[in-house]
Amino acid sequence: MTINFAHRGSLTEAPENTIPAFQKAIDHGAKAIELDVQLTKDNKLIICHDHKISRFNKDVSGLIKDFTLEEIKQIDVGSSFSDAFTGTTLATLDEVLELCPKDLLLNIEIKNIPVIYDDIEYLLLQCLSDHQRMEHVIISSFDHVALQKVQEITPSMPLGMLFYYRILNAWDYAKNSGLNITSIHPNNVYTNRDFVKNCKASGYQVYPYTVNTLERYEELVDYGVDGVFSNVPEIFTSV
């Protein structure tokens, strides 16, 4: 059975990484959701992909890290998507964990590049623990040092190793990293049958991103991937 992740929630139907987007994914029957976590100026866990807010509100300049949570909660990120979502704000991780059923698989990506957030790993794991949500979670990142820190704090936490560019033998890199990697998350552009075969032979699940056509999805499933990250409900609700 493939496990397909609603990428930033159902982002074609509601502003990405907001409660409405996550709720719509849940309403569709998604079995897994991907979201991105950063830190505010006052070290609160906020869900946002970009380090800047300007894509969601052109009147706001600055980075996530420059705003307190209270300030971020005053920023409308919904009206740029649709008037129907005017007043929608970015979600906190606390809010997402309260919303999502505990059997829903969450892939939480630490957005640690180019901004490096000190102690985000500890704060993330503490938040998960506070919500009794240490299970049905994968923590992923392009910042593999962040994954190392997660492992040092909670060795049992499943880790997903993200790759954007092609590297030689990513599966060997993962194995030699010293990390207890559960899954490899490659850019779907270069994910082919041999890549999947070698990753799985090394004991890793494979979840390519971001897969938005049924044709490509079916091709990847034929290669043997364990699931994908997708913006398309027809894909992220497929099994």
Q: Is 28 a catalytic residue?
A: no
Q: Judge whether 36 and 47 are in contact, CB under 8 Å.
A: yes
Give, to the nearest 10 degrees, the angle between helix 120-130 and helix 144-153.
50
Contact between 53 and 80 (Cβ < 8 Å)? no
- Tokens standing for residue 103: 């059997």
Tell which residue, 101, 107, 90, 102, has the closest CA to residue 5: 107
Closest CA to 137 of 92, 101, 95: 101
Give the pair of three-digit tokens for residue 29.
């029957």
Q: Are 10 and 233 in contact (CB under 8 A)?
A: yes
Angle between helices 193-201 and 214-223 in degrees, nearest 10: 40
Residue 153 and residue 151: Cα distance in Å, rounded? Answer: 5
Task: Spot the catalytic one: 49, 131, 144, 185.
Answer: 49
User: Which of 7, 28, 51, 136 is flagged as catalytic?
Assistant: 7
Residues 6+ apart with CB under 8 A from 51: 38, 63, 64, 65, 111, 114, 115
- Count of CB atoms within 10 A of residue 17's CB? 25
Q: Which residues are catalytic?
A: 7, 49
